[in-house]
Chain A
């Protein structure tokens, strides 16, 4: 089936470090979305990408829609403790979202 392979599964970093995570697929997608989920909360949309090659920033976050339309990455610069959470990539197919497995980020002060 259609899957989004998200890596890494978890990351343990020091405050101030930069973070990079990515999603890949064997299928072509027209949308890439990045969400963050805090414990006990619903996912919050961080960045939405709609065009191949698109590079979009949201504060310390930067995401890119791969030129092949089969991948996307999310970078977080100068991490802070509140960046802790689970990050999901997602894309749309047939009106539904397909999610990656999530990247759990831990930030040590």
Chain B
């Protein structure tokens, strides 16, 4: 149980294009979904927290107009990197929590590697 998927697993795009990454909780309803960014050999950096049907809460220093998050249902959240540039190249990971007892436990997706040329 508690499986989270991400799509695509990797993407290469040209500078200036927008890229959408999907995060789905496959066997549970996620009250909250999270988006992280990870650089090589480093821990995960939280970008934003989203609850279904409401606006995402972004961490300090994360541009909300650059990284658009939509949480349309209890099983789907999307991250759109708008007008991507090479410095946006990174490993993006989503996670989901189901609320209730132990609800702070997050289950992670497999990650999406983005390379912007």
A and B held together in a complex? yes
The number of A-B residue pairs with CB atoms under 8 Å apart is 52
Chain A residue at smallest Cβ distance from B110: A42
8 further A-B contacts with Cβ under 8 Å, apart from A35-B108, A97-B95, are A42-B4, A45-B2, A45-B105, A45-B108, A48-B105, A92-B105, A96-B34, A97-B46
Flag if B104 contacts A99 (CB, 8 Å).
no
Instruction: Determine the residue in chain A with the shortest Cβ distance to B109.
Output: A42
The yes or no answer to B100 lying at the interface (CB within 8 A) is no
| A12 contacts the other chain (CB 8 A) | no
Question: Which residues of B are found within 8 Å of A35, using beta-carbon distances?
Answer: 108
Contact A88 B43 (CB under 8 A): yes
Interface range for B: 20 to 34
What's the minimum C-beta distance from B2 to chain A, rounded to whole angstroms?
A: 8
23 of the cross-chain contacts (CB-CB < 8 Å) are: A31-B102, A33-B105, A35-B108, A40-B91, A41-B110, A41-B111, A42-B6, A42-B93, A42-B111, A43-B108, A45-B105, A48-B102, A50-B102, A88-B44, A92-B104, A95-B32, A95-B49, A96-B34, A96-B46, A96-B49, A97-B95, A99-B44, A100-B43
Closest Cβ of chain B to A59, distance in Å, is: 17
B37-62 vs A, CB cutoff 8 Å, 1 = contact: the mask equals 00000011010010000000000000
Inside 8 A of B2's CB, which chain A residues have their CB?
45
Cβ–Cβ < 8 Å partners of B46 in chain A: 96-97
Map CB proximity to B onto A11-22 as digits: 1 under 8 Å, 0 otherwise: 000000000000
Chain B residue numbers with a CB within 8 Å of A100 are: 43
